[in-house]
Structures are given as C-alpha cells and as structure tokens.
C-alpha cells in the first residue's frame, strides 16, 4: 500500500512542485516516473533516444537507492550485533 502511494506521489510530482516549490527538496526521493511521463507527453511520441536517456536515469536512480539502503541495513546490523 505504501508503494502505491509512493507511485502516485511520483506521478503528481510536477504539479506538486509547481504548487508548493518547497516540496522540491523532499520529492527527489520519489521514483523518476514523472520525468518519464512528461518526456513522452512533451514529445507526443515515443522515441528511442528519449527512452534510452530515461532508462539510464532510472537505472542510476535505482543504483543510488540500493546503495543507500545497503548502508542503512549495514548500520542497523552493526548496531544489532554490538548490543
């Protein structure tokens, strides 16, 4: 259920940033779905170059997210084993 809310928030990210610019600092955590949708809608068609750039962006986003989660889990496990 939380994942569905996260997807919904990432879809409306652009509108949220336009209405409340301060949210730009917070919504960078959300997946890059908004950028995929807006790039396809702006172009009016699906081109291979746009999809390639967006796929690379998504992969980099996921790698950063995995790296951060790995660090968090390692710190939690270290705290758990030292107690």
pLDDT (tens digit per residue) in 26-62: 777 777 777 777 777 777 777 788 788 888 888 888 8
What gap in Å lies between CA 81 and CA 30, rounded to an integer?
31
Q: Tell me if 32 sits within 8 A of 61, measured CB to CB.
A: yes
What gap in Å lies between CA 46 and CA 40, rounded to an integer?
6
Confidence band of 10 (pLDDT split at 50, 70, 90):
low
Confidence band of 80 (pLDDT split at 50, 70, 90):
confident
What gap in Å lies between CA 73 and CA 83, rounded to an integer?
16
Number of structural domains in the chain: 1
Beta strands in 14-63 (DSSP E): none
Range of the domain at 53: 2-82
Query: Which residues does 71 contact at the CB level (< 8 Å), separation at least 6?
Result: none
């Amino acid at each position: 259920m939380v994942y569905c809310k996260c997807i919904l928030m990432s879809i409306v990210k652009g509108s949220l940033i336009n209405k409340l610019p301060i949210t730009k600092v917070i919504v960078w955590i959300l997946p890059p779905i908004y950028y995929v949708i807006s790039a396809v809608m702006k172009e009016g068609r699906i081109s291979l170059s746009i999809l390639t750039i967006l796929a690379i962006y998504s992969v980099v986003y996921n790698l950063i997210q995995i790296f951060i989660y790995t660090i968090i889990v390692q710190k939690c496990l270290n705290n758990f084993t030292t107690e």
